[in-house]
Chains A and B, each alone.
Chain A
């Protein structure tokens, strides 16, 4: 395998990881601050993609589509927090899983009812299509490169928000001791709604960004949701930094595993058997990574013990 191909695959892994981060960031905040397991996070990803596809079809503008994905996911997120999620904070995790699983079914069927059963069209904007030549002679898709850039920018903005602003201070305080900050006069329920809507908006944005190169269809969020859970378990629940590192680790492991394992087995096995074994093992690789991390750090890379 040539070095250029390997470098391209590392970029692919990075891009995949950065998009996972957008999903995982909201999930880890919601779990860390409110102690809530939100299975419906994947539905918010789907809602973002559908909102973007709808607006892009109506206006032809990708920027408006992205704005719509942020707004739609944040609004839906805010509403379900007010109507459903709010009643779950005091309940145990099983109740939360049941209720948010019900939300997946409700939101999926509502989306199908509104947009129909067939996948929607959403494409990348002409300005970002095509590829660019990177130093070292790597030809890489401009859109995927932009995804990496957008993802890293959002990660920076989140770090700033959490470490430098008043709301970030309250989020950190909420993670440490919910009763205490309520006692200090912070309106905790408003804070929860804001965090939930913020996480939802990030999921929606990532749905729209990824939807442009994938398929916008009902149920698109659930596979990503599972990966996002793997990411936050690896990174440590509640930690944004952990989510970023975990997401990039998962992205790189998954992509490089898919690329490197089949040829590795082919060095000592018959070719088609090597393909089968290699691809089966590569699809397990991130779970093996997760298990390995948990053996050495039971609360994840950056989780509090």
Chain B
């Protein structure tokens, strides 16, 4: 239904635009999570993406949006349908690494372009890289590596680290350990989706650690932070931005105040694109953008820049246009490395309260012009 309405709207826009438009529209298939527990992320990516298209005016891009319900098998079906019956040229939108692993290799093998607005599994950055796969967000390890680098500069010597027991959780701890030079007071894998951390917090208390690093995205992070702050332990906590994004900070409340987290984006990065993005996003949707929204916005602007520069049916020219990354990013400088993953600065943010709203402020740059650990393995 939604899909029909959207294509109807875009069709009528196309019709109104009249003969001034050269060639046919570029069709984009967006598969993202719009229902269930993880819907906040997909909605932010979609809203950021659509905001950029709207601001670009008539960009000759037609978008088909579908909800993957966070299910890999459904994402695969949607991708097949978009490629075969909607005849999309470009796919985008997937939030979760396991869904990306199910969809991306098959799509790029069929010669379609895939622009990732969020997931960056290591398998697609190293040996499994593809010339038609562009990651506009980060490689999964990046923010954790930055957290490790920050822990060194903060003088932490003995960290307790924990993450859920699944591939992205293992990447997270590996990323932190790659940069952290101190010792580990403890290393724990929790159950994916676990919401009670009393047992883990008791172990942290008993471990003699001087700091805690955790990667617990979404609801897991909310639960952990609330329980941690209620436990009376006052060790400093550091983590990637995923547990501190704009969508969930309000649910954590006071418990998150002062916590340091790492991110490639924040609303106070000082450049005109970002300032305009934050202002227009808030005006249109009535909430502050999250990093996911910024990633959706950047993905759309990258696409628009490539569509302006080259014809999508000339794959080599279009690929070169994407690779040039000739667009104004909300992050300021943005370039692709040899494996089509970003080379970018990663910041340390602190959770603060502005009026009634909990949000983040940049306090330092953790890693400058950072690439990823897998680029050397990529041959294309």
Q: Is A61 an interface residue (CB 8 A)?
A: no
Q: Is B157 an interface residue (CB 8 A)?
A: no
Query: Across the interface, do B195 and A214 meet the contact criterion of CB distance under 8 Å?
Result: yes
A210-236 interface mask toward B, CB cutoff 8 Å, 1 = contact, 0 = none? 100111111110010000000000000
Q: Is B43 an interface residue (CB 8 A)?
A: yes
Complex formed: what's the CA distance from A109 to B36 in Å?
7
A1-26 interface mask toward B, CB cutoff 8 Å, 1 = contact, 0 = none? 11001001100110110000000000
Please give, as numbers and ranges, the residues of chain B lying within 8 Å of A16 by CB-CB distance: 196, 198
Please give, as numbers and ranges, the residues of chain B lying within 8 Å of A206 by CB-CB distance: none
Query: Across the interface, do B202 and A144 meet the contact criterion of CB distance under 8 Å?
Result: no
Q: Is A276 an interface residue (CB 8 A)?
A: yes
Query: Across the interface, do B195 and A220 meet the contact criterion of CB distance under 8 Å?
Result: yes
Complex formed: what's the CA distance from A215 to B227 in Å?
10
Interface size on A, residues (CB 8 A): 48
Binds A, one of B24-32, B118-126, B184-192: B184-192
CB-based closest 9 A-B pairs: A219-B37, A215-B222, A215-B219, A119-B251, A12-B198, A214-B223, A279-B189, A117-B39, A214-B195
B203 to A, closest residue via Cβ: A259
Query: Across the interface, do A15 and B198 meet the contact criterion of CB distance under 8 Å?
Result: yes
Distance of A6 from chain B, by nearest CB (Å): 9
Residues of A within 8 A of B (CB): 1-2, 5, 8-9, 12-13, 15-16, 108-109, 112, 117-121, 123-124, 129-131, 139, 141, 143-144, 210, 213-220, 223, 255, 258-259, 262, 271-272, 275-276, 279-280, 282-283
B247-263 interface mask toward A, CB cutoff 8 Å, 1 = contact, 0 = none? 11011111000000000
Complex formed: what's the CA distance from A139 to B231 in Å?
9
Query: Across the interface, do A275 and B198 meet the contact criterion of CB distance under 8 Å?
Result: no
Distance of B72 from chain A, by nearest CB (Å): 17
B191 to A, closest residue via Cβ: A283
Looking at the complex, which one of A12, A118, A123, A279 makes contact with B253 (CB distance below 8 Å)?
A123
Q: Is B230 an interface residue (CB 8 A)?
A: yes
Query: Across the interface, do A275 and B187 meet the contact criterion of CB distance under 8 Å?
Result: yes
Query: Across the interface, do A118 and B219 meet the contact criterion of CB distance under 8 Å?
Result: no
Query: Across the interface, do B189 and A217 meet the contact criterion of CB distance under 8 Å?
Result: no
Query: Across the interface, do A131 and B195 meet the contact criterion of CB distance under 8 Å?
Result: no
Complex formed: what's the CA distance from A220 to B203 in Å?
25
Selected A-B contacts with CB under 8 Å, 10 pairs: A5-B202, A13-B199, A117-B40, A139-B232, A214-B226, A217-B218, A218-B36, A223-B195, A276-B189, A280-B189
Interface SS of A by simple majority: helix
Residues of B within 8 A of A (CB): 35-37, 39-40, 43, 165, 187-191, 193, 195-196, 198-200, 202-203, 206, 218-220, 222-223, 226-227, 230-232, 247-248, 250-254
Interface SS of B by simple majority: helix
Looking at the complex, which one of A131, A217, A276 makes contact with B37 (CB distance below 8 Å)?
A217
Query: Across the interface, do A215 and B223 meet the contact criterion of CB distance under 8 Å?
Result: yes
Distance of A225 from chain B, by nearest CB (Å): 12
Distance of A58 from chain B, by nearest CB (Å): 15
Complex formed: what's the CA distance from A272 to B162 in Å?
12
Looking at the complex, which one of A214, A220, A262 makes contact with B196 (CB distance below 8 Å)?
A214
Looking at the complex, which one of A118, A131, A141, A271 makes contact with B247 (CB distance below 8 Å)?
A118
Query: Across the interface, do B202 and A12 meet the contact criterion of CB distance under 8 Å?
Result: yes
Distance of A132 from chain B, by nearest CB (Å): 11
Given contacts A213-B226, A218-B39, A220-B37, contact A259 B199 (CB under 8 A): yes
Given contacts A118-B40, A121-B253, A259-B199, contact A131 B232 (CB under 8 A): yes
Complex formed: what's the CA distance from A218 to B231 in Å?
26
Complex formed: what's the CA distance from A139 to B40 in Å?
37
Query: Across the interface, do A280 and B39 meet the contact criterion of CB distance under 8 Å?
Result: no
Distance of B235 from chain A, by nearest CB (Å): 15
Given contacts A108-B36, A121-B253, A130-B232, contact A262 B206 (CB under 8 A): no
Complex formed: what's the CA distance from A276 to B226 in Å?
26
Please give, as numbers and ranges, the residues of chain A lying within 8 Å of B200 by CB-CB distance: 258
Given contacts A214-B226, A275-B188, A280-B165, contact A119 B248 (CB under 8 A): yes
Besides A109-B35, A219-B36, 11 other A-B contacts (C-beta < 8 A)? A9-B198, A108-B35, A119-B40, A121-B253, A123-B254, A213-B223, A217-B222, A217-B251, A219-B37, A220-B195, A255-B199
Query: Across the interface, do A279 and B35 meet the contact criterion of CB distance under 8 Å?
Result: no
Query: Across the interface, do A214 and B222 meet the contact criterion of CB distance under 8 Å?
Result: yes
Complex formed: what's the CA distance from A139 to B199 in Å?
13
Complex formed: what's the CA distance from A112 to B43 in Å?
12
